[in-house]
Structure 1
């Protein structure tokens, strides 16, 4: 039996040798896009040749182990090809989120200290402006000009061999508070993640050299850039990479690219369900969806309308050997996302670290095993050993997610731990209140959070975006009719929009920048007097 590859370079070389004529990357056509408007399909052989050319140029300039290269290449094929070339040489890639403002770019560059920036020409000026005041100012080269003008790194490459422990990428997490942390991911981590993705079990298991994986999520995040990409490479499959998610293009692109698997987030499913009927036949070739966060009340309805199962998974940048609720009979609409498996132990713990009984919510703690708890996890937070050790306290990684485990071992998502509101001794999951608000026909976005309360410790604050005018009292009555009285919003604020990340996750910490007490926000409505038993 051929041994499993231990580095990304070895894995990609093996895929090129075995699947040369098969498609590796596909970009859907989009006449309005400023690159590849007619789309493109790149075979493993063509990608291998391109990666070899790029790697030769980087190597001739002196790049190798120990070097970092920051890239701002959006969701274009160049992002994958440059990354594979650099990883093959033992260099580490630091993708830059194109939504970053100059100050955020400057922070990433100063923190990760790359030897080089490779950016799209359309982004060049923004990046140059961003790093003008940096303490660390690496040379910059546009992808369009590459390799002309490629400078040599300021320091020599390491002579160390490329091992599974060699860093392959540094991905910056969008934390809810403070500066983002740089998660250092190794070759071994990424390959283990891809292998797990390829063998989820049940209906989600990848068929070798047969799948076309439509993933509209950003390549500079772990889902598209590591999980599905490495899974595709290890199985000779094709990743279909649109520029981003758009509900009006989704089904046409899925059909045109002959996708067999689609990736989603909760917001994707909700927006597709809001589209008028008529495009359901375009979903006929899809075997399953893989994603997280579909609203439980929409789960069965989505599957019935479009005709394929939506497989809920769980993972995070620090550990993306995902769990998946992919085996039949599935528990649709229960926020179930899988069970522990060999190589991933799960513990549901209280604040004291003690195991909680089945059915009782607690924080999800994870590890590979008692003997090797950190195997196939992230290598650590860049230059932040204190934060790394705090996350690993007690020999388990603390996910920050509140879950409950059924007697059959199935784990169900409840909420992010920091999104639990503690009111008069009652724990309220923000996600539960958000789900009810989003079920109102005029609510298009909702964010629920805790605010201080002098009497009850914390109170529920809801920020909503509306399609038309709805009185705050009517929204309260809607919630109060579906939830225990104490869960309904005590404060409500209507806003024009809510800040989101590139993956459409609402950034709650950015809703009230610089405001010490959200209860003083202009236009906020106090509904606490309406919260009564009975």
Structure 2
């Protein structure tokens, strides 16, 4: 019988590859948890998942419930995912860098029945949860109690199937609040199958791969894409807590890694490191990721000895495209051609298909009677946004691309008002809303500015209230205001004070006219550079 849920597919993999490693954590003396590392076989994972499943079932959690999780990049994330999926419940991963207001929004919007968290976060999450409209209890996973707080409502009747929600991932949009992407079991299968079907330079071998993914588990890439691809093929996910340049190469050698995942910020950092004895001793076959600068692509491959295969995908689309066949055009931003059942079309603002080599918005769909098969099920509580994204039967990605005569797609820019910093999609409107609430701010516009290390950085263009002195002290005050209310990466790395913002006749800010065309505003003598203050641990716990 074909599996219909992620857990059923996991059970099939356990039967087929019981003694193969499934999860591996590298050693790290600097890490507070599992400093000696950990390796779990498929059989051992199944034993832990079974115990968790019984615990959740005893407390009444099941089909139709959502459980929020702040479990960092630890094996616990996948153990709880599989246990809850077996019961038909959905997970809601929490970004550990979220502040109190962001977490509160997520808990209220998702209507999570329970929050499970690592010990260091139980207290602050409990404070936030008590402010939620439907206060969810918070349980610690170090260790879990003998009994979990009971579910506040009965589970839905019936057995969950492919259409049942398995995860709710929040992704930034152009509005002030993130949208909740409902991701079904079918979505998870489609993502895993996409990974396994890329082939060519990205071919996956059964029960022979170890995939090192340093990206956060609350994102689709590490939380679903590499996990499902490896689980369905009897392979292993290698789970560092995050990217560490100093130990990167030694961890690849130690874990026997064969595949690496990256973001565009990682290659330049590694290229700037001094030569490491393990940087050519590894067994990496290829890396998959997005955003490597074309001028660095060839230099990276020549120095470290494996190809960087650029791909494109979104949380909403699940699968995507990859440049895994030569010529890969590594001196450009090429990310592959449409293959398999994923179709692509480049359109103008009126959704008219454009001729080749013309820049326009990338729209995608499946080559099925159901063009949405394998995509997200929709935005939670926002059917209008879902249908707007799917207008005309094609999903509108918001990415500007061009397609050449051979079908190769090239990334150009983002159409939406999004800032992409070190792989994080940041909604400018969310930061604007926070800054606008400050008593010294009359007007504000947040824009993206180039950053050599992080692709883009956040710049706040602020018009102070009358009589307020626009100086470095005010810039720091506004920065601290944001750090207390937003994840650290959303705080402005640059602040510029202006006398006024250009607006339309309907008082909408014209961001393209704030600075003269071609000007780099970071080079203005009055631009306040706050980038060195943007530290992950600058504020250790969410605050209101």
* TM exceeding 0.5: yes
1:253 and 1:417 map into 2 onto residues whose CA distance is 38
1:58 aligns with 2:56: yes
Tell me by how many angstroms 1:389 deviates.
1.0
1:276 and 1:177 map into 2 onto residues whose CA distance is 42
Tell me by how many angstroms 1:274 deviates.
1.1
1:17 aligns with 2:48: no
Tell me by how many angstroms 1:177 deviates.
3.9
Tell me by how many angstroms 1:160 deviates.
2.0
Tell me by how many angstroms 1:458 deviates.
5.6
Partner in structure 2 of residue 487 of structure 1: 518
Match of 1:84 among 71, 82, 85: 82
Match of 1:254 among 240, 252, 255: 252
Tell me by how many angstroms 1:418 deviates.
3.0
State the Cα deviation string for residues 109-140 of structure 1 (Å, max 9, x = none). 11101111111111001101112221110122
State the Cα deviation string for residues 204-261 of structure 1 (Å, max 9, x = none). 1111100000000111110001000000110000000000112112111111111100
Matches within 5 A, 1:162-241: 162-175=160-173, 177-241=175-239
State the Cα deviation string for residues 167-221 of structure 1 (Å, max 9, x = none). 0000011335410111000000011101111121211111110000000011111
Partner in structure 2 of residue 497 of structure 1: 531
Partner in structure 2 of residue 397 of structure 1: 395
Aligned residues, how many? Answer: 463
Matches within 5 A, 1:422-437: 434=450
Matches within 5 A, 1:282-431: 282=280, 284-369=282-367, 371-418=369-416
Root-mean-square deviation (CA, aligned residues, Å) is 2.6
Partner in structure 2 of residue 447 of structure 1: 457
Tell me by how many angstroms 1:490 deviates.
5.6
Return closer, same or farther for 1:140/1:201 CA change in 2, 3 Å cut-off: same
Which has the higher relative contact order, 1 or 2, with Cα contacts under 8 A spaced 6 or more apart? 2
Tell me by how many angstroms 1:298 deviates.
0.5
State the Cα deviation string for residues 501-526 of structure 1 (Å, max 9, x = none). 99xxxxxxxxxxxxxxxxxxxxxxxx
Task: Provide structure 1 residue ranges, at least 5 long, that are not aligned to the other structure.
Answer: 422-429, 463-484, 503-534
Partner in structure 2 of residue 523 of structure 1: none
Return closer, same or farther for 1:420/1:320 CA change in 2, 3 Å cut-off: closer
2:250 and 2:67 map into 1 onto residues whose CA distance is 36
Tell me by how many angstroms 1:21 deviates.
0.5
Tell me by how many angstroms 1:47 deviates.
0.1
Partner in structure 2 of residue 160 of structure 1: 158
Q: Secondary structure at the match of 2:91?
A: strand
Tell me by how many angstroms 1:387 deviates.
1.1
Tell me by how many angstroms 1:370 deviates.
6.4
1:310 and 1:345 map into 2 onto residues whose CA distance is 23
1:350 and 1:501 map into 2 onto residues whose CA distance is 40
Q: Secondary structure at the match of 2:106?
A: helix
2:19 and 2:514 map into 1 onto residues whose CA distance is 55
Q: Secondary structure at the match of 1:155?
A: coil
Return closer, same or farther for 1:224/1:194 CA change in 2, 3 Å cut-off: same
- Check conservation: 1:211, 1:259, Cα contact below 8 A: yes
Return closer, same or farther for 1:333/1:73 CA change in 2, 3 Å cut-off: same
2:335 and 2:250 map into 1 onto residues whose CA distance is 29
TM-score (norm 1): 0.82
Match of 1:128 among 126, 131, 148: 126
